[in-house]
Amino acid sequence: MDLLGAMALFLVICLSCLMVLSTWHQMHRKSKMPPGPTPLPLIGNFLQVNTSDMYRSLMKIGEKYGSVYTIHLGPRRIVVLCGYDAVKEALVDQGEEFSGRGEQGTFDWIFQGYGVAFSNGERAKQLRRFSIMTLRNFGMGRRSIEERIVEEAHFLLESLRGTKGVPFDPTYFLSRSVSNVISSIAFGNRFEYEDKEFLSLLSMINESFRFTATAWGQLYDMFSNVMQYLPGPQHEAFKKLLGLEEFITRKVKVNQETLDPNSPRDFIDCFLVKMQQEKENPNSEFSLKNLVMTTLNIFFAGTETVSTTLRYGFLLLLKYPEIEEKVHKEIDRVIGQNRSPNMDDQTQMPYTEAVIHEIQRFSDMIPMGLARRVTRDTQFRGYTIPKGTEVFPVLGSVLRDRKHFARPEVFDPQHFLDANGQFKKNEAFMPFSIGKRYCFGERLARMELFLFFTSILQNFRFKSLIPPEEIDISPMLVGFATIPRFYDISVIPR
């Protein structure tokens, strides 16, 4: 007993010392860091936040400490940036310093620092430059991305006609079409809408994306170090992500076996060619692992964000039929009924553009941004942020910045229209983020939003099962992502 007792006592003393030291260390370093609530050892400011409502928790703490503050989410020490000024000063004016990528517990479990989106340093640079160039090349090819979207819109319209006015949940209708656009780029082909494998991929994407928005997903984001070894719903999300990785790995194998370096068919082929070219370069990041993970980044990001935005948008139009009516009128005036919409129509459709912008603003797809990280010791607004510190550019606080939007909590296309009904840009419109790591899928996403949106509204009007007054447009979940409530819609041919 004596030996055991002594050992236990020793351990307790050691642990206490460690805790005191770590708190002291954090307080000491805090002196140059932005201010923030005092953290407890190990759990940080966990007791001051609500994992069901992280966005609002962060905003509330910001009311006390200002638009730049420090928070400890479990062991993660994070600088939070709220509002347009702080986010722009950091991500644009000090772009290089804020260009690192922070953590996203759930996704990091599968990516482990590989692939374009969740990597840092030289790896991120090489993969990003390559990905942007390759996407651009596909856009300029004989069959441009725009044509591909218009073609996919026709499949979507056909499937909507098939509903014959019966109410349905629009989730899969939208995600199948959106996903087919990025699938054509990544894999060189679209899927049939009834394809079983396709549907299972979509549900894997849907469910892992949804997990990141739940309270459990947010908790996992803080304590992933421990929770990855404990039971819980995170393992369901991991299983889905693994399923997606396996699918891409299979695709890559097939491409390797059939590759013709002189005529690359898709993103994977282009990457394989690049791997061969860089074989002799010891610093090359063009490895099989980065190929699989980058393709997964693009497939995932290219599917769920755009389709969730459209799904939120249609709910908003059910709520505000008078706005839908104005879009119909503009479509009839500019495009008519005899041809498909194309990107040249966009500049002549200020009202529709304003509605789509307002949908993106209101739906606030990634409310706390994708975590960044400072790449070196950084001076910012008189503070010193040590190299490697994570940063949350809270995009939702920019999209609802009172200095830039008259009625930030209200869905109102007037936010993007001037007195003459012309489209009015707003610098605080940044759902795709800004700076060195901003979303390079932006151009593709904007094309998809415009072409799918106008194609559908050219051909159908929406009907709700319940009166507009009773439709709840507040989100169902707000975590890493914002997820709208489930709803049914019926579409009536015009």
Q: Smallest distance from the beta carbon of 443 to ligand HEM, in angstroms?
A: 9
What residue 128 binds from ligand NAG, ligand HEM, none (CB within 5 to 8 A, per partner kind)? Answer: ligand HEM
What residue 73 binds from ligand NAG, ligand HEM, none (CB within 5 to 8 A, per partner kind)? Answer: none
Burial 375-409 (b: 16+ CB within 10 A, else e): beebebeebebeeebbbbbbbbbbbbbeebbeebe
Segment interacting with ligand NAG, rule: CB under 6 A, options 47-55, 68-76, 114-122, 366-374: 47-55
Q: Build a one-symbol-per-residue string for 365-404: x at contacts with ligand NAG by CB under 6 A, - elsewhere.
A: ----------------------------------------
What residue 368 binds from ligand HEM, ligand NAG, none (CB within 5 to 8 A, per partner kind)? Answer: none
**CA proximity to 178, closest of 448, 444, 447, 359:** 448
CA distance 393 to 438: 11
What residue 80 binds from ligand NAG, ligand HEM, none (CB within 5 to 8 A, per partner kind)? Answer: none
Segment interacting with ligand HEM, rule: CB under 6 A, options 76-84, 249-257, 434-442, 481-489: 434-442
CA–CA distance from 415 to each of 354, 402, 435 (Å)?
8, 11, 23
CB-CB neighbours of 30 under 10 Å: 16
Determine which helix (DSSP H) or strand (DSSP E) holds 302, and give its type and residue range. Answer: helix 288-319
For the chain, helix, strand, coil in percent to 5 are: 55, 10, 35
Q: Which of 160, 316, 317, 445 binds ligand HEM (CB under 6 A)?
A: 445
What residue 437 binds from ligand NAG, ligand HEM, none (CB within 5 to 8 A, per partner kind)? Answer: ligand HEM
CA–CA distance from 83 to each of 23, 239, 362 (Å)?
30, 36, 15
Which residue number, 197 or 377, has a Cβ lying nearer to ligand NAG?
197
Residues 309-368 that bind ligand HEM (CB under 6 A): 309, 365-366
- Crossing angle, helix 171-187 and helix 267-277, to 10 degrees? 30
Residue 114 phi/psi, 5° resolution?
-100, 165
Burial of 86 (0-12, 13-18, 19+ CB in 10 A): buried
Q: Smallest distance from the beta carbon of 172 to ligand NAG, in angstroms?
A: 5
Cβ 216 vs Cβ 234: under 8 Å: yes
Q: Smallest distance from the beta carbon of 447 to ligand NAG, in angstroms?
A: 24
Q: Which of 52, 228, 284, 384 binds ligand NAG (CB under 6 A)?
A: 52
Cβ 44 vs Cβ 51: under 8 Å: no
Does position 213 interact with ligand HEM (CB under 6 A)? The reply is: no
Determine which helix (DSSP H) or strand (DSSP E) holds 393, and give its type and residue range. Answer: strand 390-394
Q: Smallest distance from the beta carbon of 42 to ligand HEM, in angstroms?
A: 28
Residue 386 phi/psi, 5° resolution?
-65, 145
Site size toward ligand HEM, by CB under 6 A: 28
Q: Smallest distance from the beta carbon of 229 to ligand NAG, in angstroms?
A: 24
Token output for 208: 């892992």
Q: Smallest distance from the beta carbon of 308 to ligand NAG, in angstroms?
A: 10
Q: Smallest distance from the beta carbon of 5 to ligand NAG, in angstroms?
A: 40
Residues 173-202 that bind ligand HEM (CB under 6 A): 182
Q: Which of 85, 151, 207, 245 binds ligand NAG (CB under 6 A)?
A: 207
Cβ 177 vs Cβ 452: under 8 Å: yes
Q: Smallest distance from the beta carbon of 175 to ligand NAG, in angstroms?
A: 8
Cβ 174 vs Cβ 155: under 8 Å: no
Residues 363-402 that bind ligand HEM (CB under 6 A): 365-366, 369-370, 372
For residue 201, the one-letter residue type is: L
CA distance 424 to 314: 22
Q: Which of 444, 477, 483, 491 binds ligand HEM (CB under 6 A)?
A: 444
Does position 485 interact with ligand NAG (CB under 6 A)? The reply is: no
Residues 243-302 that bind ligand HEM (CB under 6 A): 297-298, 301-302
Which residue number, 305 or 464, has a Cβ lying nearer to ligand HEM?
305
CA distance 183 to 165: 29
Token output for 483: 């997820």
Cβ 375 vs Cβ 97: under 8 Å: yes
Segment interacting with ligand HEM, rule: CB under 6 A, options 9-17, 238-246, 376-384, 437-445: 437-445
The residues, any chain, with a CB within 8 Å of residue 322's CB and separated by 6 or more, are: none
The gap from C-alpha 357 to its chain's centroid, in whole angstroms, comes to 16
Q: Build a one-symbol-per-residue string for 73-112: x at contacts with ligand HEM by CB under 6 A, - elsewhere.
A: ----------------------------x-----------
**Residues making contact with ligand NAG (CB under 6 A):** 50, 52-53, 169, 171-172, 206-207, 210
Q: List residues near ligand HEM by CB under 6 A.
A: 101, 116-117, 128, 182, 297-298, 301-302, 305-306, 309, 365-366, 369-370, 372, 431-433, 435, 437-441, 444-445
